Amino acid sequence: MGESRPRWETSLSQTLGPPLVAFIATRLASALAARLANVDPLQASSWVRWDSFWYLRIAAGGYRLEACPGGTSMFCGTTGWFPGYPALIASLARLALAPEWAGFLVSAVAQLALLALLWTRVLDGTPSARRWMLLLLAAFFPGSIYAQAVFPISTVLLLMVGFLVAVREGRFRLAAACGAAAAFTYPTGVLLAPVYGAWLLLSAREARDDWRRLLPLIGPVLGLSAVLGLMAVQTGAWDAFFRNQVQGFGYGLSDPLTTLGTRLVPLLVWRRAGGAEVAAACQTLLVLLLVGWAGTEAIRSRAEPTTALFGLTVVTYWLFPLLLGGRLSLYRAEALLLPAVWLLRRAPVPVLVVILAGAAAVAMPMARSFFQGTLV
């Protein structure tokens, strides 16, 4: 008879095995997309596009607020991007790692940790066909290429899911820390505060009697305050972020239906639209299906506190970019809807198969467009 494996080895295999399989699967798919785009996926520079350069610039030299070329009244510079991710890159760069490779490594570790957290704490880590499909859906979730590239998406998603899981488990100090770090890493990380506040008002009476439950409400606010304070110290302007983003990108209150319709138009004129535009529109259509199903599940199970919390998170992070309008890359913001995976746990297997197949099908052209530089 063969010797049985030690218990710790079995536990480690069950904990990291499935997330590692999902991680490798999505990375191989993106590598194939890179090859199809005539890009070498083994070069760190291949994963650096558009905003990646701003994060690398912040990691190297901090924040600067500059007048835009052409004598306009707008402000340019590095203050449109948050410091959490660049700080991690700078930390690894001090170990003699090239900044591009540092960014790639941070994103990879964060994505693997995110999948492990989802598997063990959200999907309960018990192998089954349904849980495997949900895990793979998380790996190939809309916008997944940005969770792999030199962008902070996987990092902020790890912190967001950590926040939700900590609240679910009653670990309010940890939730506050995750919320603060999320807001320090990505602008919409601060939305965890109003999401949690709304959930707290809707939760049971006893949930409002424990003062510790206020801590997750404070964390994201402190994180945003730290960002604005850091930018003020380095640029001399407390509103440096708003000068850059609001004035430079035209953000403001918009009609969400108009914004959504604009993003879906390429599906109606697909013969004339570019491949990247059609792929992004297909992703937005898939997200509509996801949000619709998740929202219905949240309403149906509104008596369950965890379902209500995840539902509020998904709806808020879906609606906010549509309200913001401007030159927003909606397909990147859609990646932050990954907590919808929890709300699909009771979906019929055929529905999960369709959604997973759609996500995988969209991921390939989106990744290829990213490597070609046609997605911002």
Please tell me the predicted confidence (pLDDT) of residue 261. 87
Query: What tokens does 138 get?
Result: 């998380």
Compute the distance between CA of residue 109 and CA of residue 120 in angstroms, rounded to an integer. 16
User: Whole-angstrom distance between the N-terminal and C-terminal Cα of the chain?
Assistant: 57
Query: Which residues face 77 on adjacent strands?
Result: 65
Query: Which residues face 212 on adjacent strands?
Result: none
Q: Could you tell me the pTM of the whole model? A: 0.93
- Please, what is the average pLDDT of the chain? 88
- Each residue's pLDDT tens digit, 94-118: 998 999 999 999 999 999 999 999 9
Whether 123 contacts 69, CB under 8 Å:
no
Please tell me the predicted confidence (pLDDT) of residue 1. 43
Query: What tokens does 184 get?
Result: 């320090």
Please tell me the predicted confidence (pLDDT) of residue 12. 62
Sign of the dihedral defined by the CA atoms of residues 114, 118, 120, 125, in that order: negative
- Each residue's pLDDT tens digit, 51-68: 999 999 999 999 988 777
Question: With 60 as the cut, is the pLDDT of residue 241 above it?
Answer: yes
3-class SS of residue 128: coil
Query: What tokens does 11 get?
Result: 């536990």
Please tell me the predicted confidence (pLDDT) of residue 182. 98
Whether 103 contacts 48, CB under 8 Å:
yes
Please tell me the predicted confidence (pLDDT) of residue 251. 67
Burial class (CB in 10 A: 0-12, 13-18, 19+), 72: exposed
3-class SS of residue 75: strand
Query: What tokens does 150 get?
Result: 């030199």
Query: What tokens does 256 get?
Result: 């969400």
- Each residue's pLDDT tens digit, 135-182: 999 999 999 999 999 999 999 999 999 999 999 999 999 999 999 999
Q: Which of 84, 151, 157 lies closest to 116, judged by CA?
A: 157
Q: Chain centroid to CA 269: how far?
A: 29
Query: When comparing pLDDT for 184 and 330, which is higher?
Result: 184
Q: What is the mean pLDDT of residues 23-40?
A: 96
Question: With 70 as the cut, is the pLDDT of residue 255 above it?
Answer: yes
pLDDT band at 8 (very low <50, low <70, confident <90, very high): very low
Q: Which of 128, 129, 121, 151 lies closest to 55, judged by CA?
A: 151
Paired sense of beta strands 75-77 and 65-67, if any: antiparallel
Question: With 50 as the cut, is the pLDDT of residue 2 above it?
Answer: no
Side chain identity at residue 169, one-letter code: E
Whether 116 contacts 15, CB under 8 Å:
yes
Query: What tokens does 374 get?
Result: 């046609």
Enumerate the domain spans of the chain.
13-372
Q: Which of 192, 202, 186, 152 lies closest to 172, judged by CA?
A: 192
Residue 265: other Cβ atoms inside 10 A = 12
Instruction: Give the H or E element holding residue 209.
Output: none
Question: With 90 as the cut, is the pLDDT of residue 296 above it?
Answer: no
- Residues 6+ away with beta carbon under 8 Å from 206: none
Side chain identity at residue 26, one-letter code: T
Compute the distance between CA of residue 143 and CA of residue 287 in angstroms, rounded to an integer. 10
Q: Which of 231, 17, 265 lies closest to 119, judged by CA?
A: 17
Whether 350 contacts 26, CB under 8 Å:
no
pLDDT band at 7 (very low <50, low <70, confident <90, very high): low
Please tell me the predicted confidence (pLDDT) of residue 244. 80
Please tell me the predicted confidence (pLDDT) of residue 91. 96
